[in-house]
Structure 1
Amino acid sequence: MEWLLVPFEVSFVQRALMAGVLVSAVCAVVGTWVVLRGMAFIGDAMSHGMLPGVAIASLTGVNLLIGAAISAGVMALGVTALGRSRRLSEDTTIGLLFVGMLASGVIIVSHSRSFAVDLTGFLFGDVLAVGSGDLVGLAITLLVVGAVALVGHRSFTALTFDVRKAHTLGLRPRLANAVLLGLVTLTIVASFRVVGTLLVFGLLIAPAAAALFWSRRITTIMLIAALLGIAATVGGLLVSWHWGTAAGATIAAGAVLLFFLSAFLSFVRQRFRSLTPEIESSR
């Protein structure tokens, strides 16, 4: 058991674990709605669409979070504005903005001498370099996301399953959609500097998607997703410590692996249930 405990006796690994737990909790809440509403593509676009703002902030010496927030805000406004067009589908507008923002960011970053390092840091972050200030920021983000999700739970549910009923009940689905988009933006902006866009997107989608195999209740899905995210964090940090792999990428890979494991176990469970009546009837 020593191999299991030794890594977490080191202070920077402890901070990385705390960051992973906080990010897992935030992503579980927001990611559940993202998966249920089929917003995975927009989540990916938002996470990578921040690159221009981050690049400009890095080159000008401005706080990276400010640059990321501005860029993500532009992306969100663009998606909302172009989404009103009846000639273009939503995925088309998101795809165009995604490619345009990402290409612009790469062009800007390419002017930096540390191009490869900057781009790698943006994608993968550095979870092992988490400081106390980063943990405070993530904790505040969790409180805000939790409060908004609690207040808007009824509106989000109606928006996800029956938009017409949401209109009938006066739940203002357009506003709910805008708030939900804001939560996705907040989650990505608050987390990317610590764990990178790859890990944020991985923990946003994979645990919530895996949780769908085990429950249909929204709150239960969020709880299972959080636990799966934490499991991916612990496992990823252990593998990273003993095998010398990149911590952020390993955690993200662990989250995806847990999704496929959940899908397999769910398939086995369904097959067992379907075979049980046949076995009983043959006796």
Structure 2
Amino acid sequence: MLDDLLAPLQLAFMQRALIGGILAAAICAVAGTWVIVRGLAFLGEALSHGMLPGVAIAGLLGWPPMVGAAASAAVMGAGVSALSRRGRLSGDTAIGLLFAGMLALGVIIVSHSQSFATDLTAILFGDVLAIRMADLVALAGGVIVTVALAAIGHRAFLALSVDDRIAGTLGLAPRWAEAGLIALVAVAVVSAAQAVGTLLVVALLLGPAAAARRRARSVTATMAGAAVIGTASVVVGLLVSWQAGTAAGASIAIVAVGAYPIALILTPRRSRAAAVGPVARLPIPEGTT
């Protein structure tokens, strides 16, 4: 009797999780493609975990967690750009320094408040089955903003991926293009991590895009393929979670990550060589050559 009463409620949770997961997959497909093309995987992970101090401070002040997450992401992005330019550090070194510092600061803040114990787990691992309508609205807004940023910066991002000197020669302001690319990844991470946690965001950011890149011959095709693979990962992960009683977010994440070795096995050798060649082989829009 109790199971019959709970079934509709469980179905509603699964439906919201499915919609939210698909929206997160769309966001991550757009940003994740540029993460793969530009080799910014470490940045995506650092941004997702570096949001902790902002979320903790927002919780202490009674503000929405997304406000704190956005503030932390903005600080991380600005810091990476500043350290790379003025500190003469490599991008990875700048990201690593800020990642360690922000994460340590977040742990210090959290350690002074026992009330964050459960929230911290939700931030890191997420609970896709607990997605609310407000989260779906935020995710839909994230899709719109991410797609808009990618469309506006597409020409500059592509030229930057080929050679930053080309971007400068074409008057595309490579420094601003780099900052815009960091902002794109930050928007994707913040909007998706709020609903599904940082673990699932990193998995959806890297796995589907890397798998799609095995066959795709353009940035746009990679984004489309990543969106399809990400959506499939969400569906399969939720089904596995439902049937096996495993954690939904982790199930989706393992399927998303597993998409890459599957794509590697299924991709013919010739197609593989063509798809993963130098970024310079990517077609540049008319007017950028």
On whether the aligned pair clears a TM of 0.5, the verdict is yes
TM-score, normalisation: structure 1: 0.89
CA distance in 2: counterparts of 1:56 and 1:139, whole angstroms: 25
Between 166-175 and 43-52, the greater mean CA deviation after superposition: 166-175
After superposition, what is the alpha-carbon deviation per residue over 1:167-196, rounded to whole angstroms, capped at 9, x for unaligned? 111111211111111111111111112100
- Aligned-pair CA distance for 1:36: 0.2
Which deviates further from its counterpart, 60-69 or 222-231?
A: 60-69
Q: What is the aligned partner in structure 1 of residue 181 from structure 2?
A: 180
Segment drifting more, 129-138 vs 14-23: 129-138
State whether residues 16 and 129 of structure 2, in contact with CA within 8 Å, keep that contact through their aligned partners in structure 1.
yes
**RMSD between aligned residues:** 2.1
The answer to whether the 8 Å contact 1:72/1:185 transfers is yes
Is 1:21 the equivalent of 2:22? Answer: yes
Partner in structure 1 of residue 107 of structure 2: 106
Letter in 2 for 1:131: R
Question: What CA distance in whole angstroms lies between the structure 2 residues aligned with 1:241 and 1:12?
Answer: 11
Cα offset for 1:81?
A: 0.7
Is the 1:53–1:70 contact (alpha carbons within 8 Å) kept by the matching residues of 2?
Answer: yes
CA contact (8 A) 1:8 1:14 kept: no
Identity %: 57
Q: Which residue of 1 aligns with 2:207?
A: 206
Q: Which has the larger radius of gyration?
A: 1
| SS of residue in 2 equivalent to 1:213 | coil
Structure 2 counterpart of 1:216 = 217
Q: Is it true that 1:80 corresponds to 2:81 in the alignment?
A: yes
* Structure 1 residues 87 and 172, CA gap change in structure 2 (3 angstroms): closer
Contact conserved, 2:211 with 2:259, CA < 8 A, in 1?
Answer: yes
Distance 1:36 1:272, change over 3 A: closer
SS in 2 for 1:10: helix
CA distance in structure 1 between the aligned counterparts of 2:189 and 2:272, rounded to whole angstroms: 40
Letter in 2 for 1:232: S
> Residue by residue, what CA displacement relative to the aligned partner does 1:237-280 show, whole Å, maximum 9, x if unpaired?
111111111111111111001111111222xx228999xxxxxx
Mean Cα deviation higher: 169-178 or 27-36: 169-178
SS for the counterpart of 1:88 is: coil
Question: Which residue is equivalent to 1:160?
Answer: 161
1:217 offset after TM fit, Å? 1.2
Moved more, 83-92 or 253-262: 83-92
Unaligned runs of 5+ in 1: 1-5, 275-283
* Alignment-derived partner of residue 93 in structure 2: 92
Aligned amino acid, residue 91 of structure 2: E
Give yes or no for contact 2:215–2:272 (8 Å, CA) kept in 1. no
Q: Which runs of 5+ in 2 are unaligned?
A: 1-6, 274-289
- The match for 1:243 is 244
